Amino acid sequence: MLTMLPELKIAQLRYFVLVAELKSFHAAARQAFRTQPAISLALRELEQKLGQALVEKGGGRVELTPYGEHCLPLFRGLIEHHDRIAREAMLFARHEIGQVSIATVPSVASRMLPGPLARFVAAHPNVQVSIQDGTAERVQQLLAQGQVDFGISSLWVDDDQLEFAPIVNDQVGVVCRSDHPLAQAGGRLHWAQLLGVPMIRNGTSQLLAGTEAEGLLADSRLFISNMISLIAMLEEGVGISTLPYLAFPQENDKLAFVPLEEPRVERHIGMLTRKGRSLSPVAGALMAFLQVQLAKAG
């Protein structure tokens, strides 16, 4: 049967260490901003818990007992350990330290996150942030599996275990070569103008499902999931495709983005979190910060 261990109070250990180091109850009381009787009472209570005297009785100068000499380094180590944990817990609560893992779609990672994330990291030098990018389906999977703290994406499919807070509406348009007739026509496109034009489907093409333009997907004979490969095919003039505006490589002067007006199709970008699960202080702070910054950018 294990002997019941005494509950040691950190304050009492601090007072004992002060008395031992200063060799005086009066000096220890002055440094601890307590009265001398309060310091003496704390040490007597500590000795009673331990069942042994820590300080020699009588005499003008404070001397430790052999037991007190043995306990002094132990109590110093316990105080240091306590203070280190308390300091870390306080900094974590103030979101000054910690780790955050985010999953997001590539268009948000490349177009919307760099500026706001750079400002957050600069203001929180002891916070580590990791980002995984992938399709909206992958983002949702990573979040549902608990591999990331939160996601920034569109909602792939409804999920009772996840909460979605929309921030930005991202309009879908047609992407084609800059010299393509659709780009030269100008204005906004009606889906019927795309009939008979070779269509390359991609991971975001499902946004057309359930709209008037859904038939364009059925006529498509080519699907490319990788964005680099898709851009190469579009530049080569293999066909046209549809993309949300944020996913369009604006720096590419070989391609043009023409908004699809009829039907108007939008991708809703927002924050994804697990329902009923709290975020860590630093993850919550980063998500709130990004919500504001992304809304401004949008």
Q: Domains in the chain, please, with CATH?
A: 10-94 (1.10.10.10), 100-168+269-296 (3.40.190.10), 170-267 (3.40.190.10)
Whether the pLDDT of residue 12 is over 70: the answer is: yes
Residues in the chain: 298
* CB-count burial class (<10 Å; 0-12, 13-18, 19+) for 243: buried
pLDDT at 59: 64
Residue 171 to residue 266: CA distance in whole angstroms:
4
Whether the pLDDT of residue 2 is over 70: the answer is: no
CB 39 within 8 A of CB 25: yes
pLDDT at 5: 84
CB 255 within 8 A of CB 241: no
Residue 76 confidence class, pLDDT cut points 50, 70, 90: very high
pLDDT at 141: 93
Q: Is residue 138 classed as helix, strand or coil in its secondary structure?
A: helix
| pLDDT tens figures, 27-42 | 999 999 999 999 999 9
pLDDT at 26: 92
Whether the pLDDT of residue 234 is over 90: the answer is: yes
Higher pLDDT, 158 or 2: 158
CB 62 within 8 A of CB 23: yes
151, β-bridge pairs: 103, 272
Mean pLDDT of the chain: 92
pLDDT at 94: 82
Average pLDDT over residues 233-261: 93
And the tokens for 39?
């310091």
Whether the pLDDT of residue 184 is over 90: the answer is: no
Residue 97 confidence class, pLDDT cut points 50, 70, 90: confident
**To the nearest whole percent, how much of the chain has pLDDT over 90?**
78
Residue 174 to residue 264: CA distance in whole angstroms:
12
Whether the pLDDT of residue 157 is over 90: the answer is: no
The residues near 97 (Cβ < 8 Å, ≥ 6 apart) are 88, 91, 126, 127, 282
Residue 207 to residue 73: CA distance in whole angstroms:
67
Residue 149 confidence class, pLDDT cut points 50, 70, 90: very high
pLDDT at 1: 46
CB 99 within 8 A of CB 127: yes
Higher pLDDT, 109 or 219: 109
99, β-bridge pairs: 128
CB 280 within 8 A of CB 93: no
